[in-house]
Amino acid sequence: MTLMDELSGQVGISEACRTLALPRSWYYRQQAEKPENNILLPPRPAPQHALSDVEKAAVRTTLNSERFMEQSPREVYATLLDEGTYLCHWRTMYRILAEHDEVRERRNQRRHPVYKKPELLATGPNQVWSWDITLLKGPKRLLYYYLYVILDIFSRYIVGWMVAEQESADLARQFIQATHRKQNIAAEPLTLHSDRGAPMRAKPVAQLLADLGVTRSHSRPYTSNDNPYSEAQFKTMKYRPDYPEHFDSPEHARQWARLFFHWYNHDHHHVGLGLMTPAVVHYGQAEAVQAQRQQVLAAAYARHPERFVKGPPLAPSAPRAVWINPPQDTAFLAAASRELQPGAQPGSRVGAAALEAGEHLAIIEGTLWPFREEKSSLIVVGELSQCP
């Protein structure tokens, strides 16, 4: 006899569980799993007032008759009562129909397809991009400007953005094409992930991605968690202290966005990147920054080891792999973390060919890409991250 059994026999199960800090549900599960308690119970006898098989067959025949086949059991029940006939309660009618799988919606209902959950893995920059469009309030009611943003999920680096006065599939196509060209994506596979907005699913965008060899990926309908990095970036943007109540013009929106994206890429120490900036991770400088930080922490520990009660401090590192909806198979995740090493595509501008910070800033400040849509006088200026 265990301590729990002995104590429960003296003070009761509730008091014994409280004394040993054990949930009662755990105790009852343990009792149910004992072999001596697994006794097969005899089948439950039918109640004396239950309908006989002959009576059930008569009820089912009436419900499926040509007269009542298009009516619900409640309607049949009320109609028969008005005619002076009582077969059984309408709930019993439903149970009889359910026994023969004859209870369903009579009208044809639209059945939504089962969408597969996207599972995307990035072990280096320029492998998986996420893009979305958000609204910026204009100077008048119901007047908005549209901010297009493409983000690299591994580094959180904004590889391209654009402010437009309308949401257009053609503008999206030009924007994606220019960003792809300016990042100098090699022949290695790139996945572009987005939600299911109209520009994202438009035929011009789909044809462009097919020509570029880019794999399309879409979120499930009404599932914002399938595009978490773009949503998080938009929240960071709109919760900035200097985010305006509204923008006076597209030029005002571009001016503010230019300053924000510079801060986000080069000054924002991202929690998900080991407190490194997106530019540091995107251009392969994370290991050098981590090593420099580790030297500073080691020197601080050498001066005052008593202040570090948990031992020598370790500088946080950038993640080796970034997922959108990681699979539930823990063995697969462990194998992926061991085998897939971080790194960029061979032909991209990351690693040894990474731009210096000053060179990169000069390129950003001097790069303007005008996009003029056909049959419109609208001029949209998109600021992209690099030039060839």
| Residue 277 belongs to domain spanning | 120-282+351-384
Q: Are residues 170 and 199 in the same domain?
A: yes
Q: Are residues 33 and 82 in the same domain?
A: no
The verdict on pTM exceeding 0.85 is no
Q: Are residues 164 and 66 in the same domain?
A: no
Q: Are residues 92 and 241 in the same domain?
A: no
- 334 assigned to some structural domain: no
Spatial CA neighbour of 177 closest among 207, 219, 201: 207
- 300 assigned to some structural domain: no
Over its length of 388 residues, how does the chain's per-residue pLDDT go in tens digits? 477 778 888 888 888 888 888 888 888 888 877 776 666 667 888 888 899 999 999 999 999 999 998 889 999 999 999 999 999 999 999 999 999 988 877 666 777 777 888 999 999 999 999 999 999 999 999 999 999 999 999 999 999 999 999 999 999 999 999 999 988 887 678 999 999 999 999 999 999 999 999 999 999 988 878 999 999 999 999 999 999 999 999 999 999 999 999 999 999 999 999 999 999 999 999 999 999 999 999 999 999 999 999 999 999 999 999 999 988 765 555 555 554 444 444 344 443 334 444 444 433 333 334 443 333 333 333 444 433 3
- 57 assigned to some structural domain: yes
pLDDT of residue 20: 81
Q: What is the domain-level CATH number for residue 138?
A: 3.30.420.10
* H helices present in the chain, as ranges: 3-11, 13-19, 24-33, 53-63, 73-82, 90-99, 169-182, 198-201, 203-212, 228-238, 250-266, 278-282, 286-303, 330-339, 357-365
How crowded is the C-beta side of 259, counted as CA atoms within 13 Å? 9
Q: Are residues 251 and 370 in the same domain?
A: yes
Q: Are residues 147 and 15 in the same domain?
A: no
Q: Tokens representing 56?
A: 């059930």
Spatial CA neighbour of 154 closest among 179, 195, 126, 133: 126
CA 276 – CA 355 distance, rounded (Å):
17
CA 80 – CA 73 distance, rounded (Å):
10
Domain total of the chain: 3
pLDDT of residue 332: 54
| Number of helical H runs and strand E runs in the chain | 15, 9
pLDDT of residue 48: 86
Q: Are residues 177 and 94 in the same domain?
A: no
- 307 assigned to some structural domain: no
C-alpha distances in Å from residue 69, one per residue of 62, 96, 97, 107, 258 = 8, 14, 12, 13, 68
Q: Are residues 16 and 92 in the same domain?
A: no
